[in-house]
Amino acid sequence: MPLQIRTATNSLGNLFILLEGELEIESCIILKKQLIALAKKNPRSVITLDFQQLEFVGASGIGHLVEIVQHLVNSHTQIKLANLRVEFVRVFKLYNFDPCHLLIDDFKLDSDQETPVARSNRKSSEI
């Protein structure tokens, strides 16, 4: 399944990005543009990338994913990573980027929602 990018915003304005499907080089280019645009539009928001529904990541896709996260961190975007698989963490480290300080472990989905939400008012959309 091609990459689907779903967003949810909590009452504090923080963004939750659910990545679903397959992450290839082409979809990484789209993802990077959308994340940069969201970061510019919401400079004070924490952006959480949720990898739980990611089914497949191509070899070139994971390299671009690392570059995207590094770019966001270097541009002072407040970013968190949720449900990142151990093998992804290893690849991040191969690129000399340790994502452990960005990981969150208490991230959960509402049982009646497909997109991640914080425990407050929520607004959801699909990019």
State pLDDT tens for residues 15-57: 999 999 988 888 999 999 999 999 999 999 999 999 999 887 7
Q: What pLDDT score does 61 carry?
A: 81
Indicate if the pLDDT at residue 80 is higher than 60. yes
Indicate if the pLDDT at residue 72 is higher than 90. yes
Who wins on pLDDT, 19 or 127? 19
Q: Note whether 43 and 74 are within 8 A (CB).
A: no
First vs last Cα of the chain: how many Å apart?
16
Q: Which CATH architecture has domain 4-126?
A: 2-Layer Sandwich (3.30)
Indicate if the pLDDT at residue 116 is higher than 60. no
Q: Where are the domains of the chain?
A: 4-126
